[in-house]
Chain A
């Protein structure tokens, strides 16, 4: 991801009020982490598994934080149980920032990622989780705000799947 796009993404999250982010680092979107780390608006929680990334974000949301969990696409499969038994069962508003590895627009797609990528949408739909695919920086702030408004309205997790320009 180009540095300019990373800044745009982080500014969009801040403008939408996201102030608590759990994460397990991955390749494609990782430039957002140093930007968030240097801005005290964000409280960051590094985790050892996306599973706890979701549960920790849920706990923070119950304490009044506006939360996001940043993960690679494969992390959705790691955290399926937590998404279902905590985020969805309890109705927790949470933004999932997912690097959509293995998608058609993933500029680094290969045999390593593609089979996981093709199961992403079916699994999100099986879990009943709303999602949007974001391929470029156009209207990014608006799209993040829309997703955050949706998660608060639903009181459920909402997913932004980042591919295309974000995977350069």
Chain B
């Protein structure tokens, strides 16, 4: 992800009202992290597993935070249990910011990512999680606002899958 795209994404998260971000770092979108850390509007929570990242964000949602969980696409499979038994079952609005590794537009795609990546959207559909694909930084502000509105309307997790220019 180029620096200006990272800045645009971080600003859009703030504009959408996200104020609590749990994460397990990965490669493609990681440049947003120093920006979020430098801005006191965000409470940034590092974790050791996407499973706990989802559970912690759900807890924060239940006490009035507007949380997002930032993870690599493979993390979706690590936290499926937590999404299902906590976020979906209880109904906590959380925004999943997923680096869509192994997708067609992933600029770093390889045999290490593609076979698992192609299951990502199927898994989201199986869990009944609404999602959109973000590949154009020009649209990121609108997409984040739409996704945040949707998660509050549903009181459910909503996912944005970042690929294309976000994976440079």
A residues touching B (Cβ–Cβ < 8 Å)? Answer: 74, 77-78, 80-81, 83-85, 88-89, 115-116, 119, 122-123, 125-128
Asked if B125 and A126 sit within 8 Å, CB to CB, the answer is: yes
B80 in the interface, Cβ–Cβ < 8 Å?
Answer: yes
**CB of B120, distance to nearest CB on chain A (Å):** 9
Asked if B89 and A78 sit within 8 Å, CB to CB, the answer is: no
Output the nearest chain B residue to A125 by Cβ-Cβ distance: B126
Q: How far is the CA of A78 from the CA of B89 in the complex (A)?
A: 15
Q: How far is the CA of A37 from the CA of B16 in the complex (A)?
A: 56
Asked if A116 and B119 sit within 8 Å, CB to CB, the answer is: no
B122 in the interface, Cβ–Cβ < 8 Å?
Answer: yes
Interface of B is mostly: helix
Q: How far is the CA of A122 from the CA of B119 in the complex (A)?
A: 12
Interface of A is mostly: helix
B85 in the interface, Cβ–Cβ < 8 Å?
Answer: yes
Please indicate the chain B residues that have their CB under 8 angstroms from the CB of A127 in the complex: 119, 122-123
Asked if A85 and B77 sit within 8 Å, CB to CB, the answer is: yes
Asked if B125 and A128 sit within 8 Å, CB to CB, the answer is: no
B residues touching A (Cβ–Cβ < 8 Å)? Answer: 74, 77-78, 80-81, 84-85, 88-89, 115-116, 119, 122-123, 125-128
**CB of A110, distance to nearest CB on chain B (Å):** 13
Asked if A85 and B116 sit within 8 Å, CB to CB, the answer is: yes
Asked if B77 and A81 sit within 8 Å, CB to CB, the answer is: yes
Q: How far is the CA of A11 from the CA of B61 in the complex (A)?
A: 49
Asked if A89 and B85 sit within 8 Å, CB to CB, the answer is: no
Other contacts beyond A80-B80, A81-B78, A127-B123: 20, CB < 8 A:
A77-B80, A77-B81, A78-B80, A80-B78, A80-B81, A83-B77, A84-B74, A89-B115, A89-B116, A116-B85, A116-B89, A122-B125, A122-B127, A122-B128, A123-B80, A123-B123, A123-B126, A125-B122, A125-B126, A126-B119
Asked if A77 and B123 sit within 8 Å, CB to CB, the answer is: no
Please indicate the chain A residues that have their CB under 8 angstroms from the CB of B77 in the complex: 80-81, 83-85
Asked if A126 and B122 sit within 8 Å, CB to CB, the answer is: yes
Q: List 5 A-B contacts (CB under 8 A).
A: A74-B85, A80-B77, A88-B115, A89-B116, A116-B84
Asked if B127 and A115 sit within 8 Å, CB to CB, the answer is: no
Output the nearest chain B residue to A124 by Cβ-Cβ distance: B126
Contact partner, B123, options A78, A85, A115, A126, Cβ 8 Å: A126
